[in-house]
Every structure is written in structure tokens, then in C-alpha cells.
Amino acid sequence: MSDKKSFAILVYGSGAGVAGLPEAEQQAHLKKWDDWVDQLNADGTFAGGNPLQPVAKTISGKAAKVSDGFFVPNDEYVVGGYILVEAGSLDEAVEIAKGCPTFELDGNVEVREVMPM
């Protein structure tokens, strides 16, 4: 039995993000993402993940009110995707997350342990 746990790396960025870069810079940045995920795979820590589409519906409250758009916790950043990794601890997952290319565009990540169900 493995002592590894699953962690979600939630990737936050500004609305512009990669789309705000010139085409050549977009491609170079996306290559960094591919390289990072390839390295996570090679290390045996990658467990999944994908970027998220910019279109969403928000469901809120007891009445389950449906609204167009995604929930924006502040005016600056939105969740743009997630990466699932296997690590021995939260601190180890944080070290893995430090390699995320989003930081080059002044993005943020949140690292949280996935609760087994």
C-alpha cells in the first residue's frame, strides 16, 4: 500500500493569461506546460488534470439559483485548470506545485489534499 496521497493543484490566473500573449509567446508558454506535465509523468507524480473552458454556470444557495459565469473570489484571478498529483504530504505537493508555469504570468496556485471517498 502506497503512503502517497492525492493533491489538487488549482491553477488561478488573470483573465488575459496566455490569451493575452502574442502567438509565438503563447506557443512557448504552452510548451512549458507540456514539459512540466511530462516531467510530472516521468517522476510518477502526475495523476491527471486539464485546463478549464472559460464558460461556466454557477449554482448557489438553498434555491440552487443558476447564473451564467464562473465564481470569481476576487476581481483579479479565476480558476483556469487543475493538476492532480500524488505526494507524501502537503509540503511535498507544494514543492511540486512550485514548478507550475502559471507563475511566469503572475498566476497563483492553491494546493489541497483530495479527500478519499
pLDDT of residue 50: 93
What is the tally of structural domains in the chain?
1
CA 34 to chain centre: 13
pLDDT digits (tens, 9 = 90+) for 21-63: 889 999 999 999 999 999 999 999 999 999 888 778 888 899 9
Contacts of 77 (CB under 8 A, 6+ apart): 12, 13, 14, 107, 108
Provide the domain limits for residue 68. 5-113
- Whether 109 contacts 41, CB under 8 Å: no
pTM (2 decimals)? 0.85
Question: Element (H or E) spanning 29, and its range?
Answer: helix 23-43
User: Please, which pLDDT band fits residue 79 given cuts at 50, 70 and 90?
Assistant: confident
11: domain CATH number is: 3.30.70.1060
Q: Nearest-CA neighbor of 85 among 52, 35, 42?
A: 42
- Phi then psi for residue 29, to 5 deg, are -65, -45
